[in-house]
Amino acid sequence: MYYTKNGIIQVSNEVRRRILIELHDKKLSLTDLSHITGKAQSTLSVHLDKMVSEGLITSHDDPDDNRRKVYSLVSVRLAHSKPPSDESIDLAFRMLSEVAQDPEGVCRMLPRFIFLGFDGMGLSAGPMASILGRLHAMALNGSLSGETLEDTVANARDYYRRMGITDASVFSLKPLTVIIKDDMPFTEGSELALGSYAAGFFSKVLEDYSGREYEVVSSEVFGTDHNYYRFILEPVRSEGQ
């Protein structure tokens, strides 16, 4: 599922999904895509024209060769389908049942319940969770920025802890390595989404402090109960670096 200027578009065709993956972090020409996918240019042209009209990608003249066009991604990936998980549905129901009579407890459990529910229904919502985490940090309008990187990270960690959803521990500052820990069991897919929310949150806090864009360069779910998520953030390298 991708968010476009025309609304949400579901992409199920394998060729189009491959094109979107290849265009994730680079611009490519028709010839490039043909070499990468092994598909004929005539076949790809049909898909590319359709994707441009849907607002998934855009095309423009190659600055190095105006005889050809290059394609780039202009949509945002929100989620993708996966096998449903009965375990996630069972955990979600059990978790909410334990606090159903306590409205404040329900509020604390709601994010976990939502991500377990998505995973149980077969929707991997990590990309969307990361976007929501960034929006959360954006709403704070830079208020967590400190005098130093260490101060900023400490502010973000303390704020995240006070939210009462999961615990955030900083393993190292350079590169920034954060471990999100929950005291309840999860499934791998639901912990991935919850951790992606934290990664989006921390990356935006760092961008507000430094003025540089950050990205997740490594991440993993671990632990017997899938209740740990580790991610590493580094500044995005600009061209020429």
11 and 127 share a domain?
no
Collapse the DSSP code of 69 into the 3-class scheme (helix H, G, I; strand E, B; otherwise coil) and give the result: strand
> What average pLDDT score do residues 37-60 get?
93
Picking from 77, 105, 123, the residue at the C-terminal end of a domain is: 77
Q: Does the pLDDT of residue 48 top 90, yes or no?
A: yes
Amino acid symbol at 33: L
CA atoms within 13 A on the CB side of 175: 16
144 and 65 share a domain?
no
- Asked whether residue 211 is domain-assigned, the answer is yes
Q: What is the pLDDT of residues 142-163, one digit of tens each?
A: 999 999 999 999 999 999 999 8
Report the alpha-carbon distance of residue 217 to residue 107 in Å, rounded: 32
CATH code of the domain in which 110 resides: 3.30.1380.20
- Asked whether residue 155 is domain-assigned, the answer is yes
Q: Does the pLDDT of residue 67 top 80, yes or no?
A: no
Residue 236 DSSP class: P
104 and 184 share a domain?
yes
- Asked whether residue 84 is domain-assigned, the answer is no
- Confidence band, pLDDT 50/70/90 cuts, at residue 238: low
- Asked whether residue 220 is domain-assigned, the answer is yes
CATH code of the domain in which 66 resides: 1.10.10.10
Picking from 42, 77, 112, the residue at the C-terminal end of a domain is: 77
Q: Does the pLDDT of residue 240 top 80, yes or no?
A: no
pLDDT of residue 230: 97
Contact partners, residue 61, CB within 8 Å, separation at least 6 = 68, 69, 70
pLDDT of residue 66: 73
Picking from 77, 111, 130, the residue at the C-terminal end of a domain is: 77
Q: What is the pLDDT of residues 22-40, one digit of tens each?
A: 998 889 999 999 999 999 9
> What average pLDDT score do residues 53-78 get?
88
71 and 113 share a domain?
no
62 and 136 share a domain?
no
- Confidence band, pLDDT 50/70/90 cuts, at residue 186: very high
32 and 123 share a domain?
no
Amino acid symbol at 119: D
111 and 202 share a domain?
yes
Amino acid symbol at 180: I
Domain that holds residue 99: 95-235
202 and 174 share a domain?
yes
> What average pLDDT score do residues 182-190 get?
91
Q: In the chain, what are the helix, strand and coil shares in percent, each to the nearest 5?
A: 45, 25, 30
188 and 99 share a domain?
yes
Report the domain count for the chain. 2
Q: Are 35 and 28 in contact (CB under 8 A)?
A: no
- Asked whether residue 128 is domain-assigned, the answer is yes
Instruction: Let me know the angle formed at the C-alpha of 199 by 197 and 201, rounded to the nearest 5 degrees.
Output: 70
CA dihedral 98, 101, 105, 111 (to 10 degrees): 70
- Name which of 204, 201, 205 is nearest 144 in CA terms: 205
161 and 228 share a domain?
yes
Contact partners, residue 132, CB within 8 Å, separation at least 6 = 197, 200
> What average pLDDT score do residues 45-51 get?
94
71 and 105 share a domain?
no
> Rg of the chain's alpha carbons, rounded to an integer?
20
Report the alpha-carbon distance of residue 188 to residue 100 in Å, rounded: 24
- Asked whether residue 90 is domain-assigned, the answer is no
Report phi then psi at 228, rounded to 5.
Answer: -125, 140
Neighbours of 154 (CB within 10 A): 15
